Structure 1
Amino acid sequence: MSVAVPRTDLPLLDALRADLTAADFTVAAVERLLGPVAAAALHREEPVPALRATAASSDPVATLVRVLLLGRRAPRRVLDAALPTLGTDGAAALGLVEAAGSSPDDEVRPLVDLRPYTAVDGGGEVDWWIASDLGELATGTALRTDHVLGVGGASTTLAQVTVRSPRRRVLDLGTGCGIQALHATRHADAVVGTDISARALAFARLNAALAGVGDQVTLRSGSMLEPVAGERFDLVVSNPPFVITPRDADVPAYEYRDGGRAGDAIVRELVEGVGSVLEPGGVAQLLGNWEVRRGESWDERIGSWVDASGLDAWVVQRELQDPAEYAETWIRDGGTTPDRDRDAWARRYGAWLDDFASRDVEAVGFGIVTLRRPLDDAGPRLRRLEEVTGSVAQPLGPVIDAALAAHDRLAGWSDEELAAQRLVVAPDVTEERYLTPGDVDPQVVLLRQGGGFGRTVQVGTALAGFVGACDGDLTAGQIIGALGALLEVEADAVAADVLPSARGLLTDGLLTTS
């Protein structure tokens, strides 16, 4: 059965925008209407409390929640009342709904999911409405292979970690419903979105027009970097179809998550090849999975890719799953569960495990990859691969942007130039000291970062004293001299101990220059 593709009609979208605004169809209004219990249940993909909360309400928000968010049918007159400017006929013309007839009591069936979206990225708060395909919660069936996904956890993560300094041209590779392209319009002159899915491009086009930025976004059909070969961008963002899926006839391949390559090849291709479309100084940020094979550490495989890229690289692994956990996650994501179809569940589970075993895969990593084309090919490279699995303070985009700038600044400073700087402890940094009862000196001193990556750094006596004195009044060299006198140690020895660590604290934002 074919599924309708949404259509972009600017006058009708103006009417839709006016109705959604007048109804106050926002995240906050939906949560007020549902209440905390039903809202929390809906976040867990359980619709029953939300259906009960909206059943007897004539509030337009209740109608919009039931029809456009929960995927329930409604009489034409009810939808007409909720969308008085656009009306059911206008919504049908946009491909949002299908009406059984023209009588007031004729049933209207939703064809897409349309919901309010609010988020905070490095540029501040955003509020849009995002259209996508109806999910499993609304249809009660497994997803179609050409399903167009709405805004999920991975999309939100990428939006929050993306650097938001002004850019001339941004590429959103694998745009899907267009959410990364929308975020990019707030700090870029022009945005190009690409996708292999014609249906995804149709949704992205509608969402950009509904947000009022259609003129700023150009959409192109094609795989990976092919649609922009020979072009250059200041920023590339990508939530690519990185899911590692067995190439098995019984395992569905979903356009939004499966790149059609074996194993983790699609992420490797993107990491190694994205430099071809980056301007000097241009940044690429993407999410991805990578295999961890028997006898390897997690960073060996992804590390070989970034080395082959020739780019500055900062990889943060956020999660590591064993093959069984990974298989369960993505089989369920496609709508197959042991309760619904135990035989299909078992077959697909086995296919995933066999596929991983064929390559000696012991785990799968997930994380954030930031790449940058250096301005100076002769300069020192950034190569940082780390595991950060704890909670972080989003948005991380400004933190990543500041760390890249700090790396460049520090790369140009000799120790003498660093010693001439007046440094300040960042306002979110606290110090913890652990002492054995009765002792004067602490056994352990920790610096804790309250924001960003939430780093904890154990420091020795000299570094603790150095950081404690960094209030911008004295230069780093003056503090080192004073510490040497206090500890009865040569200042050069203190500098050799303190300055390399100070560089790391500056890069990570625990120290700043005044």
Structure 2
Amino acid sequence: MTTPDPDPDFDPALLVELCRPLRAAFERTAFTTDAVAAMLGDDAHAALGRGEPVPVRLACSGELGTLIRLFLLADDVLAEDASAALAPVSLTNALAAGLLAGDPTPSGTVRTLLDVRPVDLGGGNRWILADLDGALRPHLSTRDHVLGVGHASVSLLRAIPATPVGTVLDLGTGSGVQALRAVDHSEHVTGTDVNPRAAALARATMVLNGVADGDVDLLTGSWFEPVAGRTFDLVVANPPFVVGEGRVHNTYRDSGLDLDGASAMVISRTPDFLAPGGTAVLLASWLHRRDEDWRHRVASWLPDHGVDAWVVQRDVAEPALYVGTWLRDSGEDPRDPAAAQRALDWLTHLHAADVEGIGFGFVFLRRTDAPTDLLAEDLTHGFDDPLGDEAAAYFERVAWLREHDVLQSRLRLAPATALERVSVPGEYGWDERVVRVHRGDGPRWQHEIDDLGAALLAGMNPGGLALEELIALLAAAHDLDCGELEASAVPLVHALVRHGIALPG
């Protein structure tokens, strides 16, 4: 059995120096996402994603194949082949920097000590440096392990509006994934991390991708301390939000704060670091407790004034599933006595806190000069569109609602809107049970309405009547009290505007 490698020591200065010729080698061999996919083909590429190395090895050839085996499979490869594929990188320098280990003589073999892979973060090919994750070679994660591009990182990338901004703060930058993407749509990026190892790998990642000196500052320190007194146009954070016992096992996921304390701290403090009109996109977790609405819990973390907030819950896990998932994430076997004891301590702690579930999702914030507006809701159904542009549009719609009286406004339905009527067999034919209005794009929101609501929406068009006139006509046609109809219609219309179903005409 292969002995697991721990996260290695590396020389930050030598690694940064090595990244310049390493970039040249990757460009020469076309070590890119598209070229890797083309060489492997659909089947072997899918096997790579499943962590099955044999089909990938069979598909590899030439210098690009050597780099795939070296960096994506973490294979031992002949030093002679590695030297040819990595030219102009010297194997001796790569070993000295801590990128590779092994015997650099022509008959020897070398292996990577770091995860180096091409990725497409949304703006074309990039390369990310991080610690190995053990997916294809046994590996022991240390306390200061630096995660690469995981599912949470990709989710956050897709949730960030692509609108150009001046300054960006990447709180808890890790390997620099978010900071690297932010370079494409900002004037200056600042990344912070409590882990010096993360800051060092992020700095190497920037050099590997040819990011100009001065475009990104990488600062080491706890939470917001390195940027005290500063504000930013955009704050992004994939913090160590795991709900646990308040102890740090891995810095990339454990904050040292009890339960959901990390999420509470980041959400409550972020508004102070937003410039006027600035936006924050945060990943977070929150408790589901007996006799407590999770929405109220998150709302308590926000100030009463100065923020528009949209909180989107994407998933809820029961405690046993949550603990088991995170133990496997760190490579621990739940059957191992030490891992089993940790699971017992963790679950006992959650039980003592009356935790019935752990919610996970996005928190979008916009700095305003008005009373805080909060919408916290579930978005657990599937959808394909990223949330970044939707969040920007949501804040524009909230601002419009703040500045306009919907009763005096002309509204229109979004083009992707559909009306659905659901009926079931009855004694004398079909019995209608539900009427819904759907948005067919973006998050695909839906609202249950009644026949009066459907009639109200049918009258919405850009050249038509204002909402109060539509309501008056409906009230007269159905012999209803106009005031009572307004009282029920206005909240519905506000909700439909927030969800992009009814739009300003």
TM-score over 0.5 (shorter chain): yes
The Cα shift of 1:497 comes to 4.5
CA 1:83–1:499 in 2, change beyond 3 Å: closer, same or farther? same
Task: Give the alignment partner of residue 450 of structure 2, picking from 460, 465, 480.
Answer: 460
- Greater alpha carbon shift after TM alignment, 79-88 vs 110-119: 79-88
Alpha-carbon shift at residue 89 of structure 1 (Å): 4.6
Separation of aligned partners in 2, 1:512 and 1:4: 55
> Counterpart of 1:146 in 2: which secondary structure?
coil
- In structure 2, the residue matched to 1:65 is 68
Instruction: Find the partner of 1:504 among 488, 491, 495.
Output: 495
Task: Find the partner of 1:324 among 320, 328, 334.
Answer: 320
Contact kept in structure 2, 1:272 and 1:309, CA below 8 Å: no
Provide the rounded CA distance (Å) in 2 between the counterparts of 1:467 and 1:292: 36
Query: 2-side partners of 1:412 and 1:440: how far apart?
Result: 44
**1:400 positional shift:** 0.7
Amino acid at match of 1:329: T
CA distance in structure 2 between the aligned counterparts of 1:204 and 1:308, rounded to whole angstroms: 36
Once the 2 structures are TM-superposed, how far is the Cα of residue 137 of structure 1 from its aligned partner? 2.0
Query: How far apart, in 1, do the equivalents of 2:117 and 2:229 lie?
Result: 37
2:82 equivalent among 59, 79, 82: 79
Counting matched residue pairs gives 495
CA distance in 1, matches of 2:306, 2:404: 23
Task: Name structure 2 gaps, 5 residues minimum.
Answer: 1-5
User: Residue 432 in 1 paired to residue 420 in 2?
Assistant: yes
Q: Does 1:364 pair with 2:358?
A: yes
Deviation at 1:169, TM superposition (A): 1.4
Instruction: Determine the structure 2 residue equivalent to 1:49.
Output: 55
Residue 94 of structure 1: how far off its partner (Å): 5.3
Identity across the alignment (%): 37
In terms of fraction of residues, the more strand-rich structure is 2
Structure 1: gaps of 5 or more residues: none
CA positional deviation for 1:397: 0.7
Amino acid at match of 1:472: P
Aligned with residue 434 of structure 2, among 444, 461, 471: 444
Provide the C-alpha distance between the structure 1 equivalents of 2:167 and 2:250, rounded to a whole number of angstroms.
29
Give the match for residue 315 of structure 1.
311
Question: In the alignment, which residue of structure 1 is the partner of 2:3?
Answer: none
2:22 corresponds to 1:24: no
Distance 1:483 1:186 in 2: 51
Cα 1:491–1:245 change in 2 (3 A) is closer
SS at structure 1 position matched to 2:184? coil
Question: Equivalent residue for 1:271?
Answer: 267
* 1:172 Cα offset (Å): 0.6
Aligned ranges for residues 344-355 of structure 1 at < 5 Å?
Answer: 344-355=338-349
**In 1, Cα distance between equivalents of 2:345 and 2:440:** 43
Q: CA deviation at 1:190?
A: 1.1
Q: 3-state SS of the aligned residue for 2:377? A: strand
Which residue of structure 1 aligns with residue 181 of structure 2?
183
Residues 270, 308 of structure 1: CA spacing in aligned structure 2 closer, same or farther, 3 A cutoff? Answer: farther
RMSD over aligned CA atoms reads 2.8
Aligned residue for 2:120? Answer: 118
1:114-513 to structure 2, matched below 5 A, reads: 114-120=116-122, 125-214=123-212, 215-247=214-246, 253-307=249-303, 311-338=307-334, 342-374=336-368, 376=369, 379-418=370-409, 421=410, 423-435=411-423, 443-477=433-467, 495-513=486-504
In the alignment, which residue of structure 2 is the partner of 1:38?
44
1:104 is aligned to: 106
CA contact (8 A) 1:5 1:95 kept: yes
297-306 vs 263-272, which moves further: 297-306
- The answer to which of 187-196 and 454-463 deviates more is 454-463
Distance in 1, matches of 2:174 and 2:162, equals 20
Residue 486 (structure 1) shift: 5.8
Letter in 2 for 1:346: A
Deviations 1:285-319 (A, max 9, x none): 21112222333222232222125786332221211
The two structures have a TM-score, normalised by structure 1, of: 0.88
Q: Which one is further off, 398-407 or 468-477?
A: 468-477
2:15 paired with 1:13: no
Cα displacement string for residues 51-107 of structure 1 (whole angstroms, at most 9, x for unaligned residues): 3433xx22x332111101111121122123323333535644654223523x32322
Shift of 1:149: 0.3
Q: Which moved more, 1:360-369 or 1:488-497?
A: 488-497
Q: Structure 2: how far apart are the matches of 1:212 and 1:429?
A: 45
- Secondary structure of 1:170's counterpart equals strand
How far the C-alpha of 1:25 sits from its partner, in A, is 2.2
Q: Cα 1:345–1:11, aligned 2, differ >3 Å: closer, same or farther? A: closer
